[in-house]
Structure 1
Amino acid sequence: MDRIRPDTPKKQHYVPQFLLKNFSYRKKHKIFAFDKSRAISFGTSVRDSASENGFYNLNLDGEKHTLEHRLSKLESICSSVIKKDLQE
């Protein structure tokens, strides 16, 4: 786990964008989402979907930490593998 730094993204995706983009349309990467509480579907961007501010941030013993940076590195590795598999 890393300490929160100034470059730690505020918006953190719990479904990686590289996965969501495979379900998107248009160059702006739009997808459809469904709000279960209101029972409505709507178009939105991948950038704004499946994310929350500070989702991977933790406060441990008074110090602020995040998993975001390490997950980002892992997502970079995974995205190249998945992209290769999708092309085959």
Structure 2
Amino acid sequence: MKFTLTIAALVVAAFAAPQLPSEIGQIPPCGLACAMNAGKEAGCGPTDIKCFCTSATALAAATACVNKDCSPEDAKKAIALAQQLCAKY
């Protein structure tokens, strides 16, 4: 299931890439899957970064998921990139 979610997140990111900031492509796959799922649970569209970044629910869920599902290196990288991306909002 985790593999399927990761692939789905990568496919969505690939199709939406022209609309998304470059930081998205640098997020490790486990972090991207966590962000996609957390955003969806918070009611955000797959390319609505502002919604994700301004939703305490999405941010908390994504952070918990990243810390649980990613390696320590990938978790650190995903969180740093999300902070960089969300600083714009």
**TM norm structure 2:** 0.29
Higher helix share: 2
Higher relative contact order (CA 8 A, sep 6+): 1
Q: Quick check: which has more Rg, 1 or 2?
A: 1
